[in-house]
Amino acid sequence: MYEPIKGYKVKCIRLNTGEVIMGFVKPEKNGFTIIEPQIILTVADNNQMEVNFAPWIPYARDFHFKVLDQQIQTVFDPNPTLAQNFKSVTGNQPRGDLVEFIKEENKEE
């Protein structure tokens, strides 16, 4: 399984806003760090449900964020198919500022 930084796992976070985001997540003091977050978009039509991903905060310069505990309703593991689709969408490769972020995080280990 692609794990960009040791200790980060694919997780879903349901926010107080109702949004569900998926990304590589690591618990931190007072919240979580999430990298490559994607918002999960669901569409139901004719008794069928389709799940799509879109970048969360697509206009941000960075691809890693801190989500505070008070912004979160729950954190959970996605089903395996959804996790695999997430890894396909994100290309299994870090992008943008994540290359440097990952290098810095891995130095701290």
Q: Model pTM?
A: 0.81
Any domain includes 2 = no
Give the per-residue pLDDT at 26: 93
Parent domain of 75 = 9-108
Any domain includes 92 = yes
What CATH number has the domain bearing residue 28? 2.30.30.100
Q: Which carries the bigger pLDDT value, residue 105 or residue 2?
A: 105
Any domain includes 1 = no
Any domain includes 25 = yes
Mean pLDDT confidence for 43-70: 90
Say if residue 21 is exposed, middle or buried (CB neighbours under 10 Å; 0-12, 13-18, 19+). buried
Any domain includes 4 = no
Give the per-residue pLDDT at 3: 59
pLDDT 10s digits, 45-57: 888 888 999 999 9
Contacts of 74 (CB under 8 A, 6+ apart): 13, 14
Give the per-residue pLDDT at 4: 60
Q: Is 99 helix (H, G, I), strand (E, B) or coil?
A: helix
Q: Which two tokens stand for residue 102?
A: 């990952």
Domain count, the chain: 1
Give the per-residue pLDDT at 99: 58
Any domain includes 39 = yes
Residue of 34, 65, 36 whose CA lies nearest to 53 = 36
